A and B are shown apart, each in its own frame.
Chain A
Amino acid sequence: MIVSELILPVALVIGVLVVGAYLVAVLDEAIAGAIGMPRGGSAWLAPLTQGAWLLTQHANATEAPDWQAWRLAPALYLALAAIGLAVVPFSPTLIPTDLVTSVVLWGSVEALATVVIFLHGWSANTLLALIGAYRYVALGLSYILISMFVLIGVALPAESLQFSQVVTSQEGLWNVIRQPLGLPLFLIVGLGMTFWGPLNLADSRDLAGGTASAVSGPPRLVWNLARAAMLVAFSGAAASAFLGGWLGPWLPGPVWMLLKMLAVLAVLLLIGRLVPRLQPERCVTLMWVVFLPLSFVDLIWAGAAAFFL
């Protein structure tokens, strides 16, 4: 019992997160190379050498940081990624934690991520990190709202707040077709909450790395790992909510799930490399004036579809 209820789920989550985060780094490196960035070595080795270098680098101090929060924030972000992935079903039976409110739990992971990212920037007690923290908070709320409406949209046809039920409800038709606005909006949320690519406003280059600008050594490694892990967890949520999770012919369910997660990751990383970083003010306007109303439309669409179909 202990094996099936405790060890297996924990091993599954940790395994997918670690391998997934590594693949995110490799994939990102490969995409960068493919579109013409100069490459030093092989994409498979680059994340490992970078990690090894960060492990040998000393962790620095700033003047009077909030030590507890500063050191805990990367670990907490990683923990949130693990919690997020823990509610993602890999097959009808292989679900790390089959909570009946798993969709809501994913929403709280997004909300708590805001707190953790803010703390990471605020506790360093330096200017650029602080600006990054403020920026994320100012935008985080709009990501959470969009995500909430989009996720209620997928919960409607499933008549459940459970990811496994959401997947089951897509047996006839995947949500990506049934609710065409849902996946694009949710991908925006994903880029936002991992502050990746065009929505990297918390750790951006105009802030010399933002919340991570004053971090070095192992804490920075954990932070980078946590961001990649959160991207993996997000791809799991997106694949279950919109791409039919484990559903698919010929191959076993978990394989389908992993393939779909990889597809979501590839799309996100490609966007990250091709689109410039949005100006924060433009981003706020887009979120509240374009994407949030679109998420209302998505919800109404989902409701009407669930009612009439």
Chain B
Amino acid sequence: MAVSWLQRLAARAAVPVFPVRGMHGEEVLYRLALTPGIKLVDSPRHASILLVAGGVPPDQHDALRRVHDQLPGPFATLWYRSEPLDELAGATRLDDPDALPEALKTIHRELMSGKRGSSPRLLPDEPPNPWEGLGDDGHGGKGMMGGVPYGRPMAMNMTDDIRDGLTLDSLTVTLGPFLPMLPPGLTAEVTLQGDLIQSWTTHSAPYPIALESVFFQALQGPVPIAELERARARYHLKRLHFALRLAGLDRLALEALRLAFAPHPGQDRAMALRRRLVRCGFFRLTTTGRGRLDENQARRVGGIAARAPGLEEDLRSRDAAYRRLEFTPIIQGGADTNARWCQTLAEIEQALQLADQAERDAVHTQRSDGVETPRGPWHEQWPEEASDLLDDLLPGLEWDEAMSTLASLDLAPLSPWSLEETSGAPVPTSVEERRA
């Protein structure tokens, strides 16, 4: 069939990619976010390419199949540092981050011109819960009770309303592991009333995050503080990027990312970013003072979440080299989402300022029995995974508040591999095996 003008036009569209964030797959997505001509979308319905970035544990393959089948045809898959599902053995696999943008564009072009066929459906196209038949009131049960039409039980609001007495019927759903608003890998069973979260049960923890190797080296011997602090700033800026994008500030989200990838990010640029965030109302308009951690929770999460409410826990203050740079931990007065973001921005500025100072005098760390990672203190053991505290924290919040709270909390465990390893040489043993 000749290629029509419509297809030729469609091939020139920005490539809509739905990223499935597997283990250690996020780094490449930050790069894609900065690539012109590629659009990372939030819903599989809005994409023509499913990009599986990073490994997906076998017990979540079914979830991956469901996401795969949600893409409307014609669509294709691309597996970046990930083993394709058995059914899709012939799908494109790629390990080189630099080749990824071009590969995505080529696949899109081939899809549109009909050169590449659509990926096959993996699951049968039939309702998982077929229609159960009419009952007394048309819902398949007796009276107003019972009956599970389409697998959805009739709502029974047996619990007290947790907010204002205006109760919409509760709806229970399973979220994750690939929902773009949640940390990758997190799954939870959530009961909602309207957009109010009534209960939240975390089923599986987020995938581990890889730190830059300098944090690992800091546990073995002295490392330049400039390098350590820039890595810290980069880590926080990437998280800030995610939150700003969620808040609809695409432009400033990219600015945060550009700063993270700048070879020598200066403190002035971080300060300018903060000023612009204040001016556009990020702190005032997108948070409502919710998402408050109590002291135990804050201590458990560690790092920014601990320092924001005023716990001066920072391994850096024990290091004489840091003391020479006049380092004192920054604290804020609040435990809510807003305070955590103020703290994050302040720490980014502080890290960049320390980096500049340390670079001038070539200061190295002196203690190597522990390191303050961006995720919290890593002393004898790593910062523990704390996603189960969401079960207490999120009920009572509206969806938007819950998502911005989640974005402001860094709950994922740390990966035993460094960022360079995970995005450089292929990982020898699969992550799942080592974790198990």
**Which of the segments B57-65, B66-74, B92-100, B309-317 contacts the partner chain?**
B66-74
B195 and A131 contacting across the interface, CB-CB below 8 Å: yes
Q: Chain B, 160-185, contact with A by CB distance < 8 Å: what is the 0/1 string?
A: 00000000100101000001110000
Interface size class of B (residues with CB under 8 A): 35 or more
**Which of the segments B10-18, B22-30, B138-146, B382-390 contacts the partner chain?**
B10-18
Residues of chain B contacted by A208 (CB below 8 angstroms):
42-43, 179-181
Partner of A38, one of B36, B48, B112, B194: B36
Is B233 at the interface (CB under 8 A from chain A)?
A: no
With CB as the reference atom, state the residue of chain B lying closest to A130. Answer: B171
Partner of B48, one of A57, A134, A197: A57
Q: Chain B, 241-274, contact with A by CB distance < 8 Å: what is the 0/1 string?
A: 0001111111100110000000000000000000
Within residues 27 to 62 of chain A, which ones have a CB less than 8 A from any CB in chain B? 32, 35-41, 45-46, 48-50, 52-53, 55-60
Partner of B285, one of A38, A46, A50, A282: A282
Q: Are A52 and B13 CB-contacts (below 8 A) given A131-B195, A276-B248, A279-B288?
A: yes
Residues of chain B contacted by A130 (CB below 8 angstroms):
171
Residues of chain B contacted by A135 (CB below 8 angstroms):
195
Residues of chain A contacted by B288 (CB below 8 angstroms):
279, 281-282
B181 and A53 contacting across the interface, CB-CB below 8 Å: no
Q: Chain A, 123-141, contact with B by CB distance < 8 Å: what is the 0/1 string?
A: 0000110110011001000
Known A48-B9, A207-B399; 17 more pairs at CB < 8 Å:
A32-B250, A41-B14, A52-B6, A55-B10, A58-B72, A58-B73, A60-B70, A63-B150, A64-B131, A131-B399, A197-B248, A206-B404, A209-B45, A213-B45, A213-B46, A220-B45, A274-B280
| Chain A contact residues, CB within 8 Å of chain B | 32, 35-41, 45-46, 48-50, 52-53, 55-60, 63-64, 127-128, 130-131, 134-135, 138, 197-198, 200-201, 204-209, 213-217, 220, 273-282
CB pairs A–B below 8 angstroms (22 shown): A32-B251, A36-B255, A38-B37, A38-B254, A41-B12, A48-B9, A52-B6, A53-B48, A63-B150, A64-B150, A127-B171, A201-B400, A205-B246, A206-B181, A209-B42, A209-B46, A216-B46, A216-B72, A274-B280, A275-B280, A276-B285, A282-B285
| Chain B contact residues, CB within 8 Å of chain A | 6-7, 9-10, 12-14, 16, 34-38, 41-43, 45-46, 48, 70, 72-74, 112, 127-128, 131, 150, 168, 171, 173, 179-181, 192, 194-195, 244-251, 254-255, 280-282, 285-288, 398-401, 403-404
